Amino acid sequence: MVTGFSAVDWVALAFFFLAWLGYHAAVERTLAGRKSLNRLMNVHRYAWARATLVRDNRIVDTTINSSLQNGTAFFASTSLIAIGASLTLLRSTEEVLAVLGELPFGLATTRIAWDVKVLGLAVIFVYAFFKFAWSYRLFNYAAILIGAIPVLKGGEVTPEMERAAWRAASVNTIAGRHFNRGQRAFFFALGYLGWFISGYVLIAATAGVLYVMWRRQFMSDAIAALGNGPWPEMP
């Protein structure tokens, strides 16, 4: 083929995108996804917002939100670095192709195939950057909404306070959702790197990433920790 892509490459690429979209749908769109770690933590985001209603001093709450925002800023900056690194690969195509040709499991490729693969990797990191940048902005909005929650007066929580806390928790939850999508792009980018060797490696790497992510969301010790309590047993 003129592009240098074989049938295995097209099958592997289709598997990659189906795995990404399928995992996204399973975690965020299905009933089974309600038992995922991300969805369970959303419940605690709302519990956190309700807890702010009985606190006059909300320095702790703004500090927690700031830590979430700072973590998002780190990943957004990392995305920009990854984009630059990906585009830099386009300047050393000939050297890289020579190295790949010497690998025992590497398949022969063309310059246009290499360039397309590199641009695809850059697109993944661009997507991740937009997710992290938007998440950062939403955490900023959440901080404002936390500050807008009325202070408790007279020892009674009013419906206005409940609605204000709900808005803060909802925006915080949406920010966390976009942050998770950005991280998901990073994980799948690791699987995508297998395509630079061969389509077979892309399939294997994508399957490995998918298994690790699924296990962390549904079978990890963090899931077990959310179900335990109120205190661990003494040894």
Q: Are 194 and 207 in contact (CB under 8 A)?
A: no
Query: Would the CA dihedral through 138, 182, 124, 29 be positive or negative?
Result: negative
Find, among 85, 166, 182, 88, the residue nearest to 128 by Cα. Answer: 182
**Domain range for 115:** 7-224
Q: Around Cβ 72, how many Cβ atoms within 10 Å? A: 26
Q: Tell me whether residue 229 is in a domain.
A: no
The DSSP secondary structure of the chain, one letter per residue, reads: --S---HHHHHHHHHHHHHHHHHHHHHHTSSGGGGSHHHHHHHHHHHHHHHGGG-S--HHHHHHHHHHHHHHHHHHHHHHHHHHHHHHGGGGHHHHHHHHHHSTTPPP--HHHHHHHHHHHHHHHHHHHHHHHHHHHHHHHHHHHHHTSPPPBTTB--HHHHHHHHHHHHHHHHHHHHHHHHHHHHHHHHHHGGGGT-HHHHHHHHHHHHHHHHHHHHSSHHHHHHH--SSPPP-
**pLDDT digit string (tens) for the chain, length 235 residues:** 456 688 888 999 999 999 999 999 999 988 888 889 999 999 999 999 999 998 888 889 999 999 999 999 999 999 999 999 988 888 777 776 676 666 665 555 677 888 889 999 999 999 999 999 999 999 999 999 999 999 887 778 889 999 999 999 999 999 999 999 999 999 999 999 998 888 899 999 999 999 999 999 999 888 888 876 666 665 4
Residue reference for tokens 């969805």: 39
CB-neighbour burial class of residue 185 (10 A; exposed 0-12, middle 13-18, buried 19+): buried
Q: Are 38 and 218 in contact (CB under 8 A)?
A: no
How many domains in the chain? 1
Q: Tell me whether residue 2 is in a domain.
A: no
Q: Tell me whether residue 74 is in a domain.
A: yes
Q: Tell me whether residue 107 is in a domain.
A: yes
This prediction has a pTM of 0.88
Radius of gyration of the chain from Cα atoms?
Answer: 22
